[in-house]
Structure formats: C-alpha cells, structure tokens
Amino acid sequence: MNARRPILNLVSAALFALAAPALAGSVPHTANGDPARADVQLEKVFATLRSSGINAALAEVNGILARYPNFRLAHLVHGDLLLARARPIAALGNTKHVNPERLEELRTEALARLRARQAHPAQNMVPRYLLRVAPQTRNAIVIDAGRSRVYVFENANGGFRMVDDYYTTIGKRGFAKEREGDKKTPIGVYRVVSYIPGKKLPDLYGWGAFPIDYPNEWDRLRGRTGYGIWLHGVPSDTYARAPQASDGCVALANPDIAVLSKLVQTGETPVVIADRIEWVPQERLASERDAFLKSLEAWRTDWESRDAGRYLANYAKEFRSAGMDLAAWSAHKRRVNAGKAWIKVSIENLDVFRSPGAPDLISVSFEQDYRSSNLSQRTRKRQYWVMEDGRWKIAYEAPAKVRKLALPESFPGKRS
C-alpha cells in the first residue's frame, strides 16, 4: 500500500482548507501569537500530516490532548490518525463508537475552526462596524456568527488592532434572532452589562458569563423579543461545543473566556455580532468615520443655533423617541427652543458603530452636556442614524438606559 495514500485521503475527506491548492503554503498567523492555543495546534497537526506524515502528526495531537484532555475533536483526529496507519479512511471520524449526530457536530467544528484560521484577515483589515470607540473603552469584541469566531480589538491611537480570536458556539438555529425562544443568536450592536462568576451558575455556563444588553433600542423598535443573551463558558466535561449548539448565547471554551475576561470592562465593552464580518482597510474605516462625524457635528451646531428648521432637518421621517413620532417631536422642540436665549451642547465619550447587515444604520452613544439660558443637564444619550435622501438622519433618540440582568430563556430552574 502506498504510505502517502491514507494521509491524502484523510486530508481530502475532511475538506480542510489546508488541502486546497489555492492556499498551499499559506500559514495564517495567530492574533495573539500563542503557539499553545488549541486552534493553532489543530491547524499544525494537519500541516504536519501533509509535510511529515502520520507519526509526526500524532505527536502533535498528543500534545494537544496533554494540554486539553477534554478536547473531543482532538480525540477524534487522534483516532483517525491511528486508523490511517493501517488503511485509507473515508471521512473525518472513522468510528462506529460515536453517536452519528455527535460525530457530525465534531466534523462541523473541525471545518469551522480550520476555515476560520485560513480566512484570517490581513493585519491592516478591521471590521467595518468599529467607526469609533470611546477612549476609556480599551477593547471591542466583534463576533462572526457565520464563521463561529470571536475577535477582540484593542482601541488605541485612533485605530484598532486585533489582539485575540477564538472559536465559538452560537444558537442551534443560527443567527438573526427575532423572537423569544427561537434559539437564534442576535445580530446587532450590544454592550457587556455585567459579569457572573461560574461558581454562581450551573455547570452549563462553565467558567462564567458576561450578559449583553439584547434587545437594544433598535431591536425593540423592530418588534424583536427575547432576553438573556450571554457570552459564557462551556460545561466542565468538554473543551468546546458544536458551532450551533446554544439557545442563542455565545459560548466559548473555558480557557478562552478566562483570557477574554481580562479584556472586558463591564458596562463599557461593546459586542458587535455580525452574520459575516465585512473587513475593510483601516484607511477606509477612518474615511467613513470622518464622513459620519461631520453629520453628527452638523446636528450639534444646528441645535445650538436655535433655528428649529435647521435642527429638525437632521431627523428622519420615521423618527421615534419615547412614544413621539417626528411631528410630536418637532412640536415639542419648537416649543422648548422658543423659551431659550442661548444653547450650548458638548459631546464626550463618543461611540459610533455601523450595524452589521444594515450598512445604512449607525448606532451612536455619548455623554451629552447640555446648557441653556434656563436649564443645564448632563445625560448619556443613544441615537440611531439612517441614510435618508442621501444624507444621515436620526431615526431614534433617547437617554440611554441601564439594562437589568436577564437570565437566558432556557436557564435551568428559571420560573416562567
């Protein structure tokens, strides 16, 4: 028997990107440079299999299992490599001792991990959504639900630098959550609101959890329901779950969420969840940011002008705020501004995010310092801007609310 044949059968049957001619010789880098990461090591197993054969690949996978003994996918690859010594194999997971459904989950996990590694963005590329993050917010989290990947970006020097990325699990029925109980992960711009240590949670949530503020104001305007979307760990008896296995939450390996926890600021860290991340060069992101900030600045100066016509021209036809439509808002603002001799408005700690899947929707949050001849007020404000008639206009505006902690919809023992 040709000794190379089982090796090639294993790689081609698994459909790993490393076997693709277009990617031959391409070895993606790790964001954090940690050679001990499970994804990096798994990728190395298949690279070693191609270059050095089964025994060398077995040594690599044994190293993974020594570090992550409950990494079931690595156990499956280990078994395949042992089998490939004796005969060609037809597919990843040549065993009758694993439940077929579980076997398919492991195959899907393998493909998700390796495909994400091969699609790793170039160093200058960033998600199109991160237009601006307030200076006091150190990092931003962007999740590619379609690729089962979490990326962490450092906010520094007016730009963003990827510092880490992780495999993740999303909802059983995919993404784009619309209603309670649909077992989907939401798409949108959110924020980490709190932290819950694992010792206070059932084992299902592993190391701990970071709840996010789904549904946000835009979700509510669109009639989306549900609650309790968390970033959390996995049960102690496993290293990772299948790509689509949660009830809508985002689940990471316990070692990964432990590392992630060091980068999260509760109440500050944004979490952007996309169906598939749109990557753009830093220069394009800066250009799009600057263009939008001109619209925001025009709104601020128009407000200070006390010219109601100029000010209200910044609002969209479908505007909503606290039960008011554009007509009610216009009447209210004309009445208020008529009693002002002067108005001064300043903006601080500004966050600006383009919404995933909706390039003509931008989420804005900031600290607003409002001063006038008869009122001074400081508040945290949230706006959603839409593109209307070729310019950015405000579709929603209201004080930003502090969200209460909500348990996941399927939390064990939770009363309905």
Q: What is the CATH number of the domain that holds 221?
A: 2.40.440.10
**Whether residue 96 sits in one domain with residue 164:** no
Residue 123 lies in a domain: no
The type of residue at 227 is Y
Residue 78 pLDDT = 85
Residues 6+ apart with CB under 8 A from 315: 326, 329, 330, 393, 394
**Whether residue 297 sits in one domain with residue 274:** no
Residue 219 pLDDT = 97
**Whether residue 272 sits in one domain with residue 298:** no
Residue 86 pLDDT = 63
Pair 208, 266: CB distance under 8 Å: no
**Whether residue 112 sits in one domain with residue 48:** yes
pLDDT digits (tens), the chain, 416 positions: 444 444 444 443 443 333 333 333 333 444 444 655 777 788 888 888 888 888 898 998 999 999 889 898 888 888 888 877 765 555 555 556 666 777 788 888 888 988 888 888 998 999 999 999 999 999 999 999 999 999 999 998 878 999 999 999 999 999 999 999 999 999 999 999 999 999 999 999 999 999 999 999 999 999 999 999 999 999 999 999 999 999 999 999 999 999 999 999 999 999 999 999 999 999 999 999 999 999 999 999 999 999 999 999 999 999 999 899 999 999 999 999 999 999 999 999 999 999 998 989 999 999 999 999 999 999 999 999 999 999 999 999 999 987 777 788 877 765 43
**Whether residue 149 sits in one domain with residue 270:** yes
In which domain, by residue range, is 294 found?
281-399
- The candidate with the shortest Cα–Cα distance to 141, out of 123, 128, 154, 132, is 154
Residues 6+ apart with CB under 8 A from 115: 17, 147
**Whether residue 158 sits in one domain with residue 267:** yes
pTM of this structure: 0.87
**Whether residue 102 sits in one domain with residue 139:** no
**Whether residue 271 sits in one domain with residue 312:** no
Pick the last residue of a domain from 225, 249, 280. 280
**Whether residue 151 sits in one domain with residue 59:** no
**Whether residue 39 sits in one domain with residue 106:** yes
Residue 416 lies in a domain: no
Residue 87 pLDDT = 59
Residue 411 lies in a domain: no
Residue 392 lies in a domain: yes
**Whether residue 272 sits in one domain with residue 141:** yes
Residue 217 lies in a domain: yes
Cα(first)–Cα(last) distance of the chain, in Å? Answer: 62
Provide the domain count of the chain. 3
**Whether residue 179 sits in one domain with residue 261:** yes
